[in-house]
């Protein structure tokens, strides 16, 4: 188990992910840094064909480059109507950033010409069309320098892709990912709500529990 005062490197430059990891490890007194804090770490090529493989590749490369235990997440969106795409290519789906990825996803779904799987009323807004079932998947791997994978975990959450962006929170595909049980998108949840039910939050709780058992 990691101890208060330990430092953990998160193998990401994504500020949104770093905030979530810091919130998860704060109760343990563990200092969380990311690749923006670490000099000399080269870009890590994600060559795996699964989320778990890419998480291991990133964590091990970051650990070996810095000498710190490193935690990596590989996560993405799997949309039923698109045969599971964008999947492991979620972050680089469009070749641009979050806005371009969301735009491409909506275009790809519109091109299918399918009727929505559900229509939801939203007070004071046009009806919301849910275009396809989908799920967010997160795989985590924690690796030690030169020693390989120490612990790993996976989590997922199911929802639907909405026909428009909802909310200003979160990042990535969060504004399009609608959760019927909340009546909101992932981007409309508070940080506490999101961490409680998100794919990454579920994977983190599993990983922390496995660390406690060591």
CATH number at residue 187: 3.90.950.10
Binding residues for substrate: 12-17, 75, 171-174, 194, 199-200
1 occurs within a structural domain: no
Task: Please give the residue range of the domain that contains residue 13.
Answer: 7-213
143 occurs within a structural domain: yes
Q: pTM of the full predicted structure?
A: 0.86
153 occurs within a structural domain: yes
pLDDT of residue 1: 63
25 occurs within a structural domain: yes
Is 74 among the residues known to form the active site? Answer: yes
19 occurs within a structural domain: yes
CA distance 72 to 3: 19
pLDDT of residue 41: 82
Burial 114-132, CB ≥16 within 10 A → b, else e:
eebeeeeeeeeeeebbbbb
Tell me which H or E stretch contains 106: helix 98-112
Q: Which of 34, 73, 74, 163 is catalytic?
A: 74
Binding residues for Mg(2+): 45, 74
CA distance 130 to 184: 12
2 occurs within a structural domain: no
Going residue by residue through the chain (214 aa), what tens digit of pLDDT does each one get?
A: 678 889 999 999 888 889 888 988 888 899 999 999 887 788 888 889 999 999 999 999 999 999 999 999 999 999 999 999 999 999 999 999 999 999 999 999 999 999 999 999 999 999 999 999 999 999 999 999 988 889 999 999 999 999 999 999 888 999 999 999 999 999 999 988 988 898 988 999 999 999 888 7
Could you give the number of structural domains in the chain?
Answer: 1
pLDDT tens readout for residues 6-36: 999 999 988 888 988 898 888 889 999 999 9
CA distance 69 to 64: 9
């Amino acid at each position: 188990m990691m101890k208060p005062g330990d430092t953990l490197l998160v193998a990401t430059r994504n500020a949104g992910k770093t905030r979530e990891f810091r919130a998860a490890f704060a109760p343990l007194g563990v200092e969380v840094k990311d690749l923006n804090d670490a000099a000399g770490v080269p870009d890590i090529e994600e060559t795996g064909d699964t989320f778990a493989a890419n998480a291991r590749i990133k964590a091990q490369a970051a650990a070996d480059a810095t000498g710190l235990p490193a935690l990596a997440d590989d996560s993405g969106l799997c949309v039923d109507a698109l045969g599971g795409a964008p999947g492991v290519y979620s972050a680089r789906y469009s070749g641009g950033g979050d806005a371009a990825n969301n735009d491409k996803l909506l275009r790809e779904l519109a091109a299918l010409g399918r009727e929505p799987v559900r229509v939801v009323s939203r007070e004071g807004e046009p009806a919301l069309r849910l275009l396809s079932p989908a799920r967010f998947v997160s795989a985590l791997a924690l690796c030690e320098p030169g020693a390989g994978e120490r612990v790993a975990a996976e989590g997922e959450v199911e929802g639907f892709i909405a026909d428009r962006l909802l909310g200003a929170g979160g990042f990535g595909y969060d504004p399009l990912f609608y959760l019927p049980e909340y009546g909101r998108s992932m981007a409309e949840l508070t940080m506490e709500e999101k961490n409680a039910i998100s794919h990454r939050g579920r994977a983190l709780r599993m990983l922390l529990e496995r660390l406690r058992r060591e």
